[in-house]
């Protein structure tokens, strides 16, 4: 098997995690080849404006292997973000190079503010895109031809991929690997990377559990994470109160005052939100999804799901066109969104 070449653009004051995250994911992806041997799925090369060393935002020094003008053919190109992306000279050089090379590259991914390079080259005109929530408004104003989805982790439109950057760069990398080599390889790699959850693109950058933790008092700080890790367990108010080392009555009162919802309502919402994510995974039955998030029967799950979402789990799946051959990166395709809007 010939490894696919992944090119990573390197520049001064880039975001180091948006280089190292994808580089680790792609370099670790391997296929079994019999006789206990494994083949690497990808060959990684770093490409700079020159071959001089670059200092990242956090101070790590990176020396690109090649100048972009000497770059060999690549299968996948990744453009990280970082404050250096706004350097006018850098921007023009990379944008011109992208404009020339893009037609010969199978897919191109912009991470975080790396979107500015692709947008400046006109490659994203008319396409759905996302970026880090801090820059979504600026991108929309500066490039009005782009259709910005401000809060998604990552978005695919044609051969172009955009993501929020940071840790979502690993999520996108895992999905690209899954596209090439299948779900089993991607999940094995996610486990090797100690990823707690292989997230899909439509998940929000600022999730409800994270918002809960941000707003929490010290006593409730880790409660949301614990609930999400134990959705199939007893999450009664008595259990949660014991976890918070409070009396049931005081816990319920303080929780409602702090978050405007009861513990039971929060747990129900968490279970249904997670069920929606799990229903998007092909080859899982509705019954197993319901049981995995704490419902005692398929009927109880179905009724609770309908109360929160407005339709039964089977209808939800049908509208998303989830099939055993479903593609995780196409959940936001143009023909799906209108259906969801009228659910």
In 87-152, where do the E strands start and end?
A: 107-111, 128-129, 147-148
Count CB atoms within 10 A of the CB of residue 216.
Answer: 15
CB 160 within 8 A of CB 118: yes
Mean pLDDT of the region 47-76: 95
DSSP-derived pairing of the beta strands 154-157 and 76-79: unpaired
- pLDDT, greater one: 60 or 197: 60
pLDDT value, residue 198: 54
Mean pLDDT of the region 20-44: 91
pLDDT value, residue 153: 86
Residue range 75-119, pLDDT digits in tens: 999 999 999 988 888 888 888 999 999 999 999 999 999 999 999
Mean pLDDT of the region 129-148: 94
β partners of residue 270:
none
CB 51 within 8 A of CB 94: no
Residue 322 banded pLDDT, cuts 50, 70, 90: low
Rounded distance, CA 244 to CA 172, Å?
36
Residue 341 banded pLDDT, cuts 50, 70, 90: very low
Residue range 183-209, pLDDT digits in tens: 889 888 988 887 755 555 555 555 555
| Range of lowest pLDDT (148-152, 157-161, 319-323) | 319-323
Mean pLDDT over each residue of the chain, to the nearest integer: 85
Q: Does residue 35 register a pLDDT over 60?
A: yes
Mean pLDDT of the region 154-172: 92
């Amino acid at each position: 098997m010939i490894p696919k070449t992944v090119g990573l653009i390197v520049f001064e004051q880039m975001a180091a995690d948006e280089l190292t995250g994808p580089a680790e994911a792609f370099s670790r992806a391997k296929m079994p080849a019999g006789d206990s041997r494994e083949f690497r799925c990808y060959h990684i090369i770093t490409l700079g404006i020159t071959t001089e060393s670059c200092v990242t935002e956090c101070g790590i020094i990176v020396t690109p292997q090649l100048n972009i003008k000497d770059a060999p053919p690549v299968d996948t190109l990744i453009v990280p973000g970082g404050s250096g992306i706004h350097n006018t000279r850098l921007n023009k050089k990379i944008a011109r190079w992208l404009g020339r090379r893009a037609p010969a590259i199978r897919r191109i991914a912009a991470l975080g503010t790396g979107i500015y390079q692709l947008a400046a080259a006109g490659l994203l005109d008319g396409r759905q895109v996302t970026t880090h929530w801090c820059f979504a408004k600026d991108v929309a104003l500066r490039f009005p031809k782009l259709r910005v989805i401000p809060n998604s982790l990552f978005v695919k439109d044609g051969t172009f991929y955009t993501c929020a950057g940071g840790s979502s760069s690993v999520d996108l990398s895992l999905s690209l690997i899954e596209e090439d080599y299948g779900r089993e390889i991607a999940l094995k790699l996610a486990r090797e990377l100690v990823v707690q959850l292989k997230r899909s693109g439509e998940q929000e950058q600022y999730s409800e559990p994270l918002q809960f933790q941000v707003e929490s008092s010290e006593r409730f700080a880790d409660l949301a994470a614990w609930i999400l890790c134990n959705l199939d367990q007893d999450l009664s108010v008595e259990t949660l109160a014991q976890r918070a080392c409070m009396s049931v009555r005081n816990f319920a009162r303080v929780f409602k005052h702090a978050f405007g919802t009861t513990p039971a309502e929060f747990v129900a919402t968490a279970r249904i939100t997670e069920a929606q994510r799990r229903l998007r995974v092909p080859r899982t039955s509705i019954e197993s999804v319901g049981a995995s998030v704490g419902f005692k029967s398929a009927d109880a799950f179905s009724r609770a799901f309908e109360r929160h979402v407005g339709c039964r789990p089977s209808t939800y799946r049908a509208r998303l066109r989830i099939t055993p051959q479903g593609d995780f990166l196409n959940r936001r395709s143009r023909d799906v969104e209108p259906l969801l809007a009228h659910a």
